[in-house]
Chain A
Amino acid sequence: MTDLTALSYTSEHEWIALEGDIATVGITDFAADKLGDVVFVELPGADSAVSAGDVCGEIESTKSVGELYAPITGTVVEVNDAVVDDPSLVNAEPFAGGWLIKIRVEGELPGDLLDRAAYEDLTA
């Protein structure tokens, strides 16, 4: 069970788990619920550079398309092929098997990341 209070969040409904300089990124249960059943995920390629705040992927449900924003600046070191093969993992396990990409962080973390309490306030 993921400790949700140990994660950082963005106002675009991504979560970030930081271990050393590697950030694992996914979308929150709130975002997954709003999208509905996810049926297609497009992620940036491994080794691609991403910049905080820029669109780096897409998450499509039967009803709509959501954009994936890079929450931090860095280089993508791993993408979750399992979620590309089975996008329903985003709904079933948004904080675990539904993770999307791992980024090697470059430079400072953005100053506007939210802790769990602030994120819960945002989505209340």
Chain B
Amino acid sequence: MTETPAPPRTSPLHDRHEALGASFTDFGGWNMPVRYTSDLAEHRAVREAAGLFDISHMAEFRVEGEAAAAFLDYVLAGRLSIMKVGKAKYSLVLAASGGIVDDVIVYRTADDSFLVISNAGNRDAVAAAFETARATDAWTAALTVEDVTDHYALIALQGPEARGILSSIPGVEITGTALDELGYYAWTEGAFGDAPLFVARTGYTGEDGYELLIPVAQAAALWDAALAAGADRGLVPCGLAARDTLRLEAGMPLYGHELSRDIVPAQAGLGRVVAVDKETFVGKDGLSSGPADAPVLVGLVSEGRRAGRAGYAVLHGDDTVGEITSGALSPTLGHPVAMAFVAPAASDIGTELTIDVRGTRIPATVIALPFYRRNA
């Protein structure tokens, strides 16, 4: 049986991207900007000034009700019930096997209300995981889970100039915690004209910055206002190509590369995200029975300009010990960097390995992630 694949979806900001001359790529079922001008220039802008990203493809779920906190403690790997209102937390959706269904950021918006942002490509899988968990008998108290993705655009403003730019966008008013008092992994609320604005100090670039959730109807006006307000501070629109090299330098995993249902959190260095002492949660039983010699995620650095790419073999002597999951010539560092899953015996910091780059062996050294860390 064959099915016609659904055409890729477009963002509420699609016409803005076309007007800016963007090139597009399919990502998670969405047709999104891959670059506007130059990947490297956009990458550099985020490290040195600021970049504006349309990440409206990401999915948002509202989890509300008396049982919301207990439900998230059950369906996610972390302990969300102890998070304070106003904070954000990185977490994981696990399969019963302990494998990773998705990585998410959870924002506590009230005692009984949370916002969960997941990857576009995993929207259905996360919805299904929530629905399956909800269908168990445990939730006698009120609980609603709503996919609100289609109501919002999500715009990321990232880089050292982000705060100054956000403060200067005409029409943006912060009504909650002031920006200069807002901690990292926290959120505040505001307005853009008449529209409610959710301002989270989170991101996926390794720089300081914000993610702005705005109703679809006002999204284009906010995008335009942000670009205009930031123009003299070096703000440029940035595509997914720059977003990928930025997150790679920051050592942040990308679902489908470093994370999958075949990978348990500890393999990806995310053991700290799992609150294993919770009495029960989805994946708990699977995690306790994982193999001890499973490959682990490492950072690799090389000299020269030839980068290992996803899928390339990693060798220790003549033995293949693993495979690259993401790799590029680091725009900031000027040398190749890669993340790879390798056998534990080859994973110690300083281990000398080689990468098979289309038949040529390139030396690579295991280093601690991240490759790049901003000055605090």
A interface, CB within 8 angstroms of B: 33-34, 36-37, 39-40, 42, 58, 60-65, 88, 91
C-alpha gap A40/B331 in the complex (Å): 12
- Whether B81 sits at the interface, judged by CB under 8 Å, is no
* Residue among B34, B245, B306 facing the most chain A CB atoms (10 A cut-off): B306
Which residue in B39, B305, B306 is a CB contact (below 8 Å) of A36? B39
Decide yes or no whether B309 CB sits under 8 A from chain A. yes
Contacts of A36 in B (CB 8 A): 34-35, 38-39, 241
Contact A62 B305 (CB under 8 A): no
- Decide: A58 and B329 in contact? CB cutoff 8 A: no
Decide: A63 and B329 in contact? CB cutoff 8 A: no
17 A-B contact pairs sorted by A residue (CB < 8 Å)? A33-B23, A36-B241, A37-B40, A39-B305, A40-B305, A42-B306, A60-B329, A62-B39, A62-B40, A62-B241, A62-B245, A62-B329, A63-B244, A63-B328, A65-B309, A88-B40, A91-B38
- Tell me if B165 is interfacial: C-beta within 8 Å of chain A: no
Q: Which residues of A contact B41 (CB under 8 A)?
A: 37
B interface, CB within 8 angstroms of A: 23, 34-35, 38-41, 43, 241, 244-245, 305-307, 309, 328-329, 331, 358
Within the complex, the shortest CB–CB distance from B230 to chain A, in Å, comes to 22
CB-defined contacts of A65 to chain B, threshold 8 Å: 309, 358
Contact between B39 and A40 (Cβ–Cβ < 8 Å)? no
**Chain A residues near B34 (CB-CB < 8 A):** 36, 63
Which chain A residue shows the least CB distance to B35?
Answer: A36
By the criterion CB–CB under 8 Å, are A60 and B307 in contact? yes
Is there contact, CB below 8 Å, between A37 and B328? no
Shortest C-beta distance, B35 to chain A (Å), equals: 6
**Chain B residue at minimum C-beta to C-beta distance from A41:** B305
The minimal Cβ–Cβ distance linking B46 to chain A, given in whole angstroms, is 13
Known contacts A58-B358, A60-B329, A63-B244: does B309 contact A37 (CB below 8 Å)? no
CB contact between A37 and one of B39, B244, B305 (< 8 Å): that residue = B39
Please give the distance in Å from A37's CB to the nearest CB on chain B: 4
B275 to chain A, nearest CB (A): 37
- Cα–Cα, bound, A60→B307 (Å): 9
- CB B239 to nearest CB in A, in angstroms, measures 9
Distance of A58 Cα from B360 Cα, bound (Å): 13
Alpha-carbon gap, A40 to B309, bound state (A): 14
CA distance A91 to B23 in the complex (A): 15
- Expressed in whole angstroms, the minimum distance between the Cβ of B347 and any Cβ of chain A is 26
What is the CA–CA distance of A34 and B39 in the complex, to the nearest angstrom?
11
Which single residue of chain A is at the shortest CB-CB distance from B329? A39
CA distance A42 to B307 in the complex (A): 12
Please give the distance in Å from B194's CB to the nearest CB on chain A. 39
Assembly CA distance A40 to B307 (angstroms): 9
Q: Which of B23, B43, B241 has the most CB of A within 10 A?
A: B241
Residues in B whose Cβ lies below 8 Å from that of A58: 358
The answer to whether A63 and B39 touch across the interface, beta carbons within 8 angstroms, is yes
Chain B min CB distance to A10 (Å): 21
6 shortest interchain CB distances as A-B pairs: A40-B305, A37-B40, A36-B39, A39-B329, A37-B39, A62-B39
Q: Shortest distance in angstroms between B85's beta carbon and chain A's nearest beta carbon?
A: 40
CB B361 to nearest CB in A, in angstroms, measures 15
Q: Which of A34, A39, A58, A64 has the most CB of B within 10 A?
A: A39
How far, in angstroms, from A88 to B38 measured CA to CA in the complex?
A: 10
In the complex, given contacts A62-B39, A63-B39, what are 16 additional A-B residue pairs having Cβ atoms less than 8 angstroms apart?
Answer: A36-B35, A36-B38, A36-B39, A36-B241, A37-B38, A37-B41, A39-B305, A58-B358, A62-B40, A62-B43, A62-B329, A63-B241, A63-B244, A63-B328, A65-B309, A65-B358
